[in-house]
Amino acid sequence: MSKEPMQSTTAPKKGVFHAPWEKSFDKILTPFEEFIHRQTTSGLLLMGTAVLALVLANSPFADLYAHIIHTPIGVSFGEWSLNMSLQHWVNDGLMALFFFVVGLELKREMLVGEMAELRNAILPISAAIGGMLVPALIYYAINPQGDAAIGWGIPMATDIAFAVGTLALLASRVPKALITFLVALAIVDDLGAVMVIAIFYTDTIALLPLFISIGLFLVLLLLNVVGIRKTLPYFIVAVFLWYAMYRSGVHATLAGILGALTVPATPKYNPERFTEHVGGLMKRFKASHQPGQSIMTNDALRAVVQALENGVHSVQAPLQSLEHLWHMPVAYLVIPIFALVNAGIPLEFGSISETMTHPVMAGVVLGLLAGKFIGISGAAWLVLKLGVAVLPKDTRFTQIMGVSLLAGIGFTMSIFVAQLGFKESEELLLMAKTGILFASLAAGISGYIWLFMVSDKVKSTTDAHR
């Protein structure tokens, strides 16, 4: 009886060399699956950094923490200089990258995503509008006058990373279309927040820098129109656009949105031309290959591989490439850093009852919890009842109601708006941040429980009819 060596079913393919951690990268994900995976991981990382900031702000290191985030940092060149605290560099500088990615996502959604077809777009757009108006009205009803009134924009926002990350934990129970609905809703929500910031949270306008900003935006549009696909020219102009908007008084982060909207969405090669291009290169690759010779010593092979790489980049639109390139650093670095420097709230447990009844706290909490639920569910019900919109595939209205609870997770954008609205009042900012944290935690837990119960019942009903 001959003995043959046992072969593992997981043995590597011949000619493939793996480091221990590389196999997981072989899995091919669709752009949407990759987006959801990153949002889920980003949500968990965001949660961790927020907790760390809270711990630091309520520990013996609180003074050191406050000193670090308020440390002045400057950039100078000759007589020119730009000086801001570390916190302001994060909020005005790094967050421009966050808004840049939001702009890329928004443009993609409008071109080829959920909002590309009007009938599919009506439901998330209507729900998002309702989810912005009702929370703002609730907050304003509680804080109709005084310094606190400017905070009406705080409960309008939804944190896409936290909300999508929470919903993704239920991915085995909820239909994929429900996650798509939440993503579309949150992107429209972000656009609404950007418009609110630009219109209502700009104190004074310096006309010359504003006109320069308009001129630079037109330059970006011109680059798009003449067909320039290299991203470096867009980046250089966008940096000057950011500085001009910073000097104009309009919040500088909006340069990220404007820059993203000018990025080309048309690739150099269409799929058919790319197929021909790759086919020709692979013939050259086979003809140049010499068995046993490393590619490092075969210049012809290296030239073909480089041409293949260039072709791969050319078949992707710059919009796709930049979204893929920047989504990870923004999700895993920019947003967690933002949470670390902004979520550090000193908690006074002795005055917790006074804090909970403060009008700003009450307005933020009720706006994010009750306002989002009523606004999103109500607007969705109305357009469905009128017959101008349809439910996403395999989705029930009770699941839309669950998503409206998750949309009450306002964290990143709500804190950002609070920083703008209450930059002159530490007390009101503290109350707003405390309300945001409390409401976001309650919205995440209640939305998860609601969807878990509803989706379980839906699944059981489906199985019963089989």
* Structure confidence at residue 38 (pLDDT): 60
The helix, strand and coil proportions of the chain, stated in percent and rounded to the nearest 5, come to: 75, 5, 25
Q: 290: phi > 0 → left, psi -120 to 50 → alpha, else beta; which?
A: beta
Q: For each of the domains in the chain, give its residue range(s) and CATH number, in order of start.
A: 30-201+251-267+316-461 (1.20.1530.10), 271-311 (no CATH)
Exposure string of 106-134, with b = 16+ CB inside 10 Å and e = fewer, is bbbbbeebbbeeeebbbbbbbbbbbbbeb
Paired residues of 85 in beta bridges: 72
- Per-position DSSP letters for 168-190, written without gaps between them: HTTTTTS-HHHHHHHHHHHHHHH
> How far apart (Å, rounded) are the C-alpha atoms in residues 28 and 33?
9
Q: What is the pLDDT of residues 42-94, one digit of tens each?
A: 667 878 888 898 899 889 999 999 999 999 998 888 888 888 889 889 888 88
Higher-pLDDT residue of 152, 12: 152
> How far apart (Å, rounded) are the C-alpha atoms in residues 176 and 172?
9
> How far apart (Å, rounded) are the C-alpha atoms in residues 318 and 84?
32
> How far apart (Å, rounded) are the C-alpha atoms in residues 79 and 68?
27
Q: How many CB atoms lie within 10 A of CB 92?
A: 17
Q: Closest by alpha carbon to 405, among 115, 111, 166?
A: 166
Tell me how long the chain is. Answer: 466
DSSP structural state of residue 351: G
Q: What is the pLDDT of residues 402-453, one digit of tens each?
A: 999 999 998 888 988 998 889 888 889 989 999 998 999 899 999 999 999 9
Confidence of residue 294 (pLDDT cuts 50, 70, 90): low
Whether 2 has a pLDDT exceeding 60, the answer reads no
Contact between residue 161 and residue 331 where contact means Cβ atoms under 8 Å apart: yes
